[in-house]
Structure 1
């Protein structure tokens, strides 16, 4: 009986050792085959929303942090000054069109006269007047088109599906043309910027698959992603306004640690049940393809 007990005990030890070795092997295989970092966060295209014309805010139709679809009316400016301008240039266009038609008719009547009765210099003068009148009509038409565009620009719409952010715009506010009023987060595409150590990037390339875990959904949701690009250069100088390179802050000022390079990973299938937030922290693992 004791011999059987010892045999079972030894068998359990052997099985435990085999399991531990298997776990160690899988861990080693995964660690050597994959590249991971916790220095990562969610990014998206963020646009500055502005009106193309100046004016007083007549109405704001959305709220801060509201999800909107492409074509949604965001806000409008008082259109009256632009309606009056359009009316003015329309009247001017009509007057110039009348003058142009009169000049053309005068030229046509003169051209029908007998050649002996025609004066070459007078004929040329009439042609010049017609050409000048035509140019004025064209210029007036451009003014009308511009006035129509400005009137249309008093209403500002969402150019993509997205989220209104940092909106603190009140009715009656005077705004200038192209003045940044609030932000708009394009939700059509999402990325994670993963800042990997340079020592981990030898095998990482565009098209590699990645696993993404967000801290806010840890244990509840795992995202899949694809490496969109790896950065070829980063700025290392502390302050350099002329250095138009993406900058990754140093982690240690005393020891020269490996430089980090940003890798952009496109999130393949965003899940509406787990909404993404710009700046959210992420854990990223990339499996380089050989």
Structure 2
């Protein structure tokens, strides 16, 4: 009985040793495979979990300074381009528009006055030109009389007094003609000056029209509207609050423009090319997979785009594998991406 037990124990021992040996061999093979995977890539894909969803976020800013009169949007609500988001108090801007309208009216009235002055000066110029012709005719008559009386005076046909009267009449007509010529020149100068004043007045009217357009534009800025379709983010403003120029009053997440920024190790970049198909696994959706395609590769590592780039010339150099951003575009239609939010973590698998 004792011999049988000893034989059974002897038979179990080799079996137990063989089992341990098999396990050890399996661990050895697994270790060798793991070591080989460090130096060789046996998979048909490139993976990383250093990736997040991104999207266009339109910042809506105020273009004028003013107090908030009313807020027309709800936090996390859907808006469309052109929807009114915020109304600012517009009393000051309405007054400026009224002032600009009054200034324009004055400028237009001044232009009308100057145009009338041109009409008057042209009429005066024409009248002066007509009188000049009359004076020229009178001078011509006086010259003829002078010649005739000169001949008659030589023949003693007229008295000296009569001759002196004709001579004086000639000199008077010559002086009148010269004065009228000067008056014609002055009338033309007045007309030309008034015409120049018209151009100046027209420029003033144009400037006042521009001032009015600017005032109306500033008034329109008191109604702040959505710049794109999407969903509004957090509301950080309140009624009555003073907002300044370029202050952000709302941010709109555009829903039809989403992509993924995946940061791959520099040692992986050799096998990554534009146009490669991508599986996008979203952590927040229980690992749900979406389809995508590599659209762009960054021209530099992520560290080079940081505000303070690392300096390896300080003497404390430690070689660290760098990451290079890769942009992945969703190929699924936008309506299937409604569950995906910017900032979600995803895992990327690029098909070689």
Task: Tell me the TM-score range normalised by the shorter chain.
Answer: 0.7 to 0.9
1:50 to 61, 74, 80: 61
Cα deviation, residue 239, structure 1: 7.1
Distance in 1 (alpha carbons) for counterparts of 2:291 and 2:66:
46
Q: Tell me if 1:282 matches 2:346.
A: yes
The CA deviation at 1:119 is 2.4
Q: Which residue of 2 aligns with 1:256?
A: 319
Any stretches of 5+ residues in structure 1 without a counterpart?
1-27, 248-252
Does the 8 A contact of 1:214 with 1:283 survive in 2?
yes
- Corresponding residue for residue 266 of structure 1: 329
The partner residue of 2:119 within 94, 102, 108 is 108
1:232 aligns with 2:299: yes
Cα shift at 1:238? 10
Deviation sequence 1:215-255 (CA, Å, 0-9, x none): 01124x321112221001135379755x6xxx9xxxxx996
Shift of 1:101: 1.9
Which residue in 1 is equivalent to 2:234?
A: 166
In the TM superposition, residue 44 of structure 1 has moved relative to its aligned partner by 1.0
Cα deviation digits, residues 80-124 of structure 1 (max 9, x gap):
211111111011111211111221232134234417346233223
User: Could you say which residue in structure 1 is the equivalent of 2:206?
Assistant: 138
The TM-score normalised by the length of structure 1 is 0.78
Whichever of the two has the greater Rg, that structure is 2
In structure 2, relative to structure 1, the CA distance for the partners of 1:188 and 1:274 (3 Å cut) is closer
Residue pair 1:223, 1:270 contacting (<8 A) in 2 also? no
Matched, 1:156 2:224: yes
- Cross-structure match for 2:187: 119
Mapping for residues 182-193 of structure 1, pairs under 5 Å: 182-193=250-261
**Offset, 1:273:** 7.0
1:169 and 1:88 map into 2 onto residues whose CA distance is 31
Match 2:275 to one of 191, 203, 207: 207
1:45 is paired with a residue of what secondary structure? strand
1:85 pairs, out of 96, 99, 105, with 96
The 8 Å contact of residues 68 and 164 in structure 1, kept in 2 or not, is answered as: yes
Match of 1:32 in 2: 43
TM superposition score normalised by structure 2: 0.65
Aligned residue-pair number:
250
Q: Check the 8 A contact 1:52/1:177 in 2, yes or no.
A: yes
Structure 1's 155 and 36: CA in aligned 2 closer, same or farther, altered over 3 A? same
| Greater helix proportion | 2
Indicate the RMSD between aligned Cα atoms, in angstroms.
Answer: 2.6
Query: Against the structure 1 CA distance between its residues 175 and 126, is the aligned structure 2 distance closer, same or farther, given a 3 Å change threshold?
Result: same
- State the match for 1:11 in structure 2: none
- In structure 2, the gaps of 5 or more residues are 1-36, 130-183, 311-315
SS in 2 for 1:132: helix
| Partner Cα separation in structure 1 for residue 329 and residue 203 of structure 2 | 53
